[in-house]
Amino acid sequence: MSPASQQYPAPQRPYHLPGLSPNTTQDAVVVVPGIMGSELYDAERDAVVWGLADAGWLLRAWTTPGGLRPLHLTPDEREGRLGRIRARRLLATPAWSPVLRGVEPYTDLVATVTRSVADPAAVLEFPYDWRLPVAVNARLLAAAARAHLEQWRAHPAHAAARRHRVDEREGRLVFVAHSMGGLLTLAALTDGPDGDLAADTRGVLTLGTPFHGSAAAALILNTGRGTPVPLPHGRLRDLATTLPGLHDLLPTFPCLDEGLDVRALTPVDVADLGGDKDLAEQSRAFHERLRGRTLPGHRAVVGISQRTVQSLALRQGVVVPFEHCYRQHSDGELMRDADGVPRRFDVAGDGTVHKESASLTRVTVPLALQHGALAKGQAALDAVTSFLEEDEHLGPPQAAAGLGLRVPDLVAPGTPWAVRVHGADGPAGLECTVEEVGAPGGFRARAALYAEYAEEAGDAGGAGEWGDEVVTGRVTVPSPGLYRVTLDSGDDTPLTQLVLAGPTGPEGGD
């Protein structure tokens, strides 16, 4: 025994140290998916009409006459007589849509949430009929969240969990919402029938929510006007014109470029580009009610670095998309250069929602992820865990700064197509793989990446400006189906994007 240990013997405690307390929340969590993120069932036909775990079904839905017909809103549904379509569960298998591209399942997100709560009974998955107005689904969400909180507070695991938390406070609500789900949550807490729901909410984590809309919604409504259009895009356009939910995603910020002026879309503009004027008017009134509202304890996870449509021009009924946006001074006036021309800014985004639309404040968690992967990527899931456990938020591991992925949304089997990577100095350290989804042992290949100039790549408006060096890979898939492209830079936060392989000819009659 050393002299020091003889002089200062270890104290004898009259008790045993307890084990580590569980770092799980006593709160009740509600998981709210995005548009197309809920499986839909047609009660009249006794059939699932969206969300089957079958790539063959996905191809038939987008490429056969009438494949999406059951999803079209009927006159009865427009009048509020609902019940034909039921939302049965969150999407459990990958899906796909033109323009919106890949829709990843929510199994990883729900599993992550479940690991951070005291008992699985604390988690409510809220599927909804995403075709309907956001306001309609928000009222259903408010009622479901209230019932869930009351049931959880009466659960034995709730009382046990409180003993491990600061002040042993009673459980409250936490919402984890992806894409359109964040709009539902905002409406439920600020414009819903339960005036006490916001006070009973500890926080809201949104993942790529278009609070101010997305220019992609205008592209969907306009796809193919005046030009030949790939068949799936025409199917989506015909469906979208009937859907109030899609109109609720139209941009509300000044985005319509008229040369020396930039303004917000009006219901007349929406009708001109191919949408429904009445639905656009209802959506405008809905967003007016939400203007200036905030969410309690809000943290926004925002996708960055992906090429994203941010504004548009409307020329003889045809939308011309731009990958830049405009900013206003605090008095509402457009920022202009010395010649009075509106200044343009490329703030990018997640490929669907541009960065400045994805938050109600400028306090965000930026992640270089695509829109669909914001509910599945590991960095986003780490942010969810941190939020639920109420640790000091130091920010999750970030995806590689500035790294972006661009692929077609629809490709033809047997025909080469390009994967574009921007924000990379070169192909060194990057690995790109393409594999068939839902087909164990199916097609899987690496895409050899190489550097070329944007002019050579024919991609000056895509992955870079003329003369810029970009990283490119060529891919050919053998058969129709759904494929996942993964770009791994070695930082544990790979970029992913879903691609559908199928007929790419002009649309036929429905």
- H helix intervals, 198-357: 215-222, 231-240, 244-247, 267-273, 277-290
Q: So what's the pLDDT on residue 226?
A: 55
Q: So what's the pLDDT on residue 465?
A: 43
3-state helix, strand, coil in the chain (%, to 5): 25, 25, 45
Q: Are residues 183 and 319 in the same domain?
A: yes
Q: Would 6 be classed as within a structural domain?
A: no
Q: Would 493 be classed as within a structural domain?
A: yes
Q: Would 10 be classed as within a structural domain?
A: no
Q: Are residues 395 and 481 in the same domain?
A: no
Q: Are residues 384 and 444 in the same domain?
A: no
CA-to-CA distance for 25 and 180, rounded, in angstroms? 25
CA-to-CA distance for 436 and 477, rounded, in angstroms? 9
Q: Are residues 150 and 275 in the same domain?
A: yes
Q: Residue 340: how many CA atoms within 13 Å on its side-chain side?
A: 3
- Among residues 348, 34, 355, the alpha carbon closest in space to that of 179 is found at 34
Residues contacting residue 498 through CB under 8 Å, at least 6 positions apart: 94, 96, 101, 102, 103, 104, 372, 437, 482, 483, 484, 485
CATH number at residue 434: 2.60.40.10
Q: So what's the pLDDT on residue 256?
A: 97
In this structure, are strands 47-50 and 38-42 parallel, antiparallel, or unpaired? antiparallel
CA-to-CA distance for 43 and 429, rounded, in angstroms? 51
Q: What is the DSSP string of 329-369?
A: -TTSPBPB-TTSPBP-B---BBSSSBGGGS-SSS-EEEE--
Q: Are residues 394 and 457 in the same domain?
A: no
CA-to-CA distance for 213 and 222, rounded, in angstroms? 16
Low-confidence stretches of the chain (pLDDT beneath 50): 5, 391-400, 455-467, 508-509
Helices (runs of H) and strands (runs of E) counted in the chain: 14, 24
CATH number at residue 82: 3.40.50
Q: H or E element: which one contains 482?
A: strand 481-488
Q: So what's the pLDDT on residue 230?
A: 73
Q: Are residues 340 and 221 in the same domain?
A: yes
395-445 pLDDT, tens digit each: 444 444 578 899 998 999 999 999 999 888 888 889 999 999 988 888 999
CA-to-CA distance for 334 and 47, rounded, in angstroms? 50
Q: What is the DSSP string of 141-153?
A: HHHHHHHHHHHHH
Q: Are residues 339 and 447 in the same domain?
A: no
Torsion of CA 355, 356, 361, 365, to 10 degrees: 10
Q: So what's the pLDDT on residue 81?
A: 92
| Last residue of one domain, picked from the residues 352, 371, 399 | 399
Q: Would 97 be classed as within a structural domain?
A: yes
Q: Are residues 337 and 458 in the same domain?
A: no
- Among residues 220, 212, 337, the alpha carbon closest in space to that of 287 is found at 212
Q: Would 381 be classed as within a structural domain?
A: yes
| Last residue of one domain, picked from the residues 345, 379, 399 | 399
| Last residue of one domain, picked from the residues 399, 418, 448 | 399
Q: Which two tokens stand for residue 208?
A: 């790529």
Q: 298 with 362: CB under 8 angstroms?
A: no
Q: What is the DSSP string of 157-206?
A: HHHHHHTTSGGGPPP-EEEEEETHHHHHHHHHHHSSS-TTTTTTEEEEEE
Q: Are residues 223 and 352 in the same domain?
A: yes
Q: Are residues 97 and 69 in the same domain?
A: yes
Q: So what's the pLDDT on residue 425?
A: 81
Tokens 């995403």, residue located: 130
Q: So what's the pLDDT on residue 507?
A: 58
113-132 pLDDT, tens digit each: 999 999 999 999 999 999 99
Specify whether the backbone of 332 is left (phi greater than 0), alpha (psi in -120 to 50) or beta: left
3-class DSSP assignment, residue 469: strand
Which range marks the domain in which residue 48 is found? 20-399
Q: Are residues 54 and 119 in the same domain?
A: yes
Q: Are residues 389 and 457 in the same domain?
A: no
Number of domains in the chain: 2
- Among residues 279, 288, 219, the alpha carbon closest in space to that of 252 is found at 288
